[in-house]
Amino acid sequence: MSSLHYASIAEVSELIRAKQISPVELLDSQLARIAALQPKLNAFVHLDPDAARAAALSATDQLSRNTPLAPLNGIPLTIKSCHDVAGWPNPAGSLLRAKEIPSRSATIVDRLRAAGAIIVGTTNTPEFLMAYETDNRLTGRTSNPWNLAHSSGGSSGGEAAAIAAGLSFGGIGSDGGGSIRVPAHFCGICGLKPTPGRIPSTGHFPPGNNSYGWIGVVGPMARTVADVRLLFSILAGPDADDALTVPASIQEISADAARKTRIGILDISSVGPATPESLAAVSHAGKLLEQSGFHIEPFQMHSLDRALDLWWFFFGTFISQLFAQAVAGKESQLSPIFVDYMNAARVASPIPMLEFVAKSLPIDQLEPYHI
């Protein structure tokens, strides 16, 4: 059973459909593993075994009916704890939100459940998601499953640790500046930051219907790219409650057509040195793609420093102002990491609308504003 915890969604789904394992047996195995490893990893914020077992019984009953099964029937998944799940806390890593209990689930939670998934629990984040280290004063630090002394990354660190440790077959994170990609990298799993508008952020905190939604998105995380693709296909699509979503279809691209895509290997010297191991890994990946028939091109991204300045304007200078009023006078309850973020992002006065609009222009128009 231990090897099953690291199986792909497709592999486990096939076992369920072949009735070699029932959703109840699979869930019980997952819950036992969570009970054994949660004290070491601290990946979870909330668990609901009773609700999960009820869902597993329903999935098992669905098998006995010999009717078409939903794509995720009986698969245990997890959710980053900044997404609303009705009746479960949505603290987003903060003491200030410890009693925040939504009455309605996020759109992506409803879509996963409609696809047959069993939502086991929610996973840890830094306070208000604003750090690359998953630690907070409410639920503490999440460790890296490969080395407990190391960081799982952030802000989707609890999700990445749970998936990497075989406590979840996949799940949902969110990303405005690396919050899916960094912990996925740290923990050795796969994660996707999709194009804004592809997956609804309804029920996410911070809300996506403001400047956060311009750079912050909801995205899938799993141990394989194939699983990420499957989750994306289920999550993607417009939502009436999220005005930023678009009705864009998911295209099926053949292997031959994909090989006509130009793949760039970025020269990152403009943003700082990389370790020899990182450079070797990227070079090796490029060679493997080239051997598979893809066209590989080295390239440089000009004015990248200006793009980083623009990103910090939104992620730091502007978004920090969205928190300023809510945390004023409550500094003693905030985590040190979040206090550092607010101090780094502090501005002398609020950003005037004209300056905000000016800095929102396309990057090739930024020169007059000295970004």
Which residues does residue 80 pair with via DSSP β-bridges, in sequence order?
123
Rg value, the chain, Cα: 21
CA-nearest of 2, 6, 3 to 163 is 6
80 catalytic residue (yes or no):
yes
CA-nearest of 231, 192, 174, 218 to 8 is 231
Inter-CA distances, 333 with 63, 101, 178, 283, 345, Å: 48, 19, 26, 46, 19
Which residue among 22, 143, 155, 201 is the active-site one?
A: 155
Distance from C-alpha of 127 to C-alpha of 314, rounded to nearest angstrom: 18
Whether residue 115 contacts residue 13, with contact meaning beta carbons closer than 8 Å, is answered with no
Q: From the centroid of its chain, how far is CA 132?
A: 13
Strands 217-222 and 171-175: antiparallel
Distance from C-alpha of 216 to C-alpha of 174, rounded to nearest angstrom: 7
What are phi and psi for residue 292, nearest 5 degrees?
-90, 0
Which residue among 179, 201, 320, 335 is the active-site one?
A: 179
Distance from C-alpha of 59 to C-alpha of 256, rounded to nearest angstrom: 38
Given the structure tokens 């949902």, which residue do they identify? 172
179 catalytic residue (yes or no):
yes
CA-nearest of 347, 352, 355 to 323 is 347
The residues that are catalytic are: 80, 155, 179
